[in-house]
A and B are shown apart, each in its own frame.
With several copies, the nearest count.
Chain A
Amino acid sequence: MSITVRFFASIREKLGKEQDIIESKGITCAADVWNRSARIPLPGNTLVAVNMEYARPDQPVRDGDEVAFFPPVTGGAR
Chain B
Amino acid sequence: MKILLVAEAFDPWREVERYQSGQPGLAGKFGATAVFVGTLRDFNRGNEVQSMTLEHYAPMTRRHLERVAEEASARWPIEDVLVIHRYGELRPNDPIVCVAVWAAHRDAAFDACRYLIDELKTRAPFWKQELTPQGRRWVAPEKTK
Q: Which residues of A are at the interface with B, using a C-beta cutoff of 8 A?
A: 6, 8-10, 47, 49, 52, 54, 68, 70-78
Those of B30-79 within 8 Å (CB) of chain A: 31-32, 36-39, 41, 44, 54-57, 59-61, 63-64
Q: Which residues of B are at the interface with A, using a C-beta cutoff of 8 A?
A: 31-32, 36-39, 41, 44, 54-57, 59-61, 63-64, 85, 96-97, 104-106, 117-118, 120-129, 138-142
SS of A interface (majority)? loop
Q: Which has the most chain A C-beta neighbours within 10 Å: B41, B57, B96?
A: B57
A70 & B127 in contact (Cβ 8 Å cutoff): yes
Minimal Cβ-Cβ distance residue in A for B99: A76
A77 & B57 in contact (Cβ 8 Å cutoff): no
28 CB < 8 A contacts A-B? A8-B57, A8-B127, A9-B55, A10-B138, A47-B125, A49-B60, A52-B60, A68-B57, A68-B125, A70-B125, A71-B127, A72-B141, A73-B122, A73-B124, A73-B126, A73-B141, A74-B121, A74-B127, A74-B138, A74-B140, A75-B125, A75-B126, A76-B96, A76-B117, A76-B120, A76-B121, A77-B106, A78-B106
Q: What is the CB-to-nearest-CB distance from B120 to chain A, in angstroms, rounded to a whole number?
A: 5
Contact partners of A70 in chain B: CB under 8 A: 57, 125, 127
A77 & B39 in contact (Cβ 8 Å cutoff): yes
Q: What is the CB-to-nearest-CB distance from B83 to chain A, in angstroms, rounded to a whole number?
A: 10
